[in-house]
Amino acid sequence: MSIEGLDALELFGAKDAKLNLVKQAYPDVSISHRGTSLKISGEKKPTQKVKDKIELMIRLLKENKELSSNTIQNIIQDFNPYNHIPSRRDSGNVIVYGNGGKKITARTRNQKRMVELSDQNDILFAIGPAGTGKTYTAVALAVKALKNRLVKKIILTRPAVEAGESLGFLPGDLKEKIDPYLRPLYDALEDMLPGEKLEQFMANRTIEVAPLAFMRGRTLDNAFIILDEAQNTTSMQLKMFLTRLGPNAQCIITGDLSQVDLPRSQKSGLRDATELLGGLEGIATVFLSAEDVVRHRLVKAIINAYAAQSKENSLNSSSKNKEQKDGTDSTSNI
């Protein structure tokens, strides 16, 4: 196979790093190059498969003048970009293409609203119950911004609040203790980036996942930052976080105000911030509901049942307070 007219360094990478991705995926196929000639040998079927993939790499390099390792990983996983061009019908919903060409889309009305408001504002509060895709959509928007080189890094953070459990009993060092709190963020990333690429990004801190406490004293610039589970921040914690943002930073803050794990006497920083900052230009809020649930069909029913119970308790509490007040007023008038 001839590669004449192509930049071998761009095609194969420094020290053949990109070509080695293909070699590692097909260890039974011999691949070598010298000058403008590329030789592929082995059993017919896998050899033809490797040939097809390298031809696709060459085609993409010729058209785009560049060929990323991420693109090669996608090709290895049988994702052909030419077979996954979004149609007019769904192009507006696709946020980014994940592993194997999987379309990561805004699936509900309010998820689409999240995408729109994120494009129009530097800070977005996304509030709603579990299963509405708040975190997943936010991570997809961050990965999209990174892939499009709108930011240089992604920072994902969560408050490590002990929801009725103690961190102390957990084994391991601090990182091992807090990783369970950050697992949903890792899960979303693993769905959108090849494993090797994700490891590379984590190692060079292009993607950083850390507890909220680690944000203190920093300036977060040229970054897409996601604060997840923000209902468990205090007002001072959320103020600290928001004042970390640098000139070229974008931020999405997600949370579920029905699942606050703070002490009962402490107001959620998320509730406080949305009330205080809602009218500022560049800051927007989107509220998701049970109608946006994309998990098991019963999750929507569960959320509605708890919401109905909460409303009933609230009405009963108001009625009881009113009765007590009326009784006090009556006594005062005697």
pLDDT value at residue 304 = 72
Alpha-carbon span 109 to 116, nearest angstrom? 11
Residues 43-102 have pLDDT tens digits of 988 899 889 888 888 888 887 777 777 678 778 876 655 544 444 344 457 888 887 777
pLDDT value at residue 311 = 67
Helices first, then strands: H and E counts in the chain: 11, 10
Name residue 261's amino acid.
Answer: D
| Residue 295 · residue 132 · CB < 8 Å | no
Sheet holding 223-227, edge to edge: 207-211, 153-158, 223-227, 249-255, 123-127, 283-287
pLDDT beyond 80 at 42: yes
Between 136 and 179, where is the model more confident? 136
How buried is residue 175: exposed, middle or buried, by Cβ count under 10 Å (0-12/13-18/19+)?
exposed
Alpha-carbon span 54 to 179, nearest angstrom? 38
Nearest to 272 by CA among 234, 310, 219: 234
**Percent of the chain at pLDDT above 90?**
23
Between 328 and 178, where is the model more confident? 178
The per-residue pLDDT of the chain, averaged, comes to: 80
Tokens 């590669």 — which residue? 3
Tokens 């980014």 — which residue? 96
> Domain coordinates of the chain in residue numbers?
8-82, 94-294, 296-334
pLDDT value at residue 155 = 93
Structure confidence at residue 167 as a pLDDT band (50, 70, 90)? very low
Nearest to 116 by CA among 101, 106, 104, 130: 106
Query: Phi, psi (5° rounding) for residue 226?
Result: -120, 125
Name residue 65's amino acid.
Answer: K
pLDDT beyond 90 at 286: yes
Structure confidence at residue 182 as a pLDDT band (50, 70, 90)? confident
pLDDT value at residue 332 = 42
Average pLDDT over residues 222-238: 91
pLDDT value at residue 172 = 56
pLDDT beyond 70 at 299: no
Tokens in use for 311? 């409303």
pLDDT value at residue 86 = 41
pLDDT value at residue 301 = 72
pLDDT value at residue 82 = 54
pLDDT beyond 80 at 166: no
Strands 223-227 and 153-158: parallel
CATH number of 94-294: 3.40.50.300
Average pLDDT over residues 231-255: 91
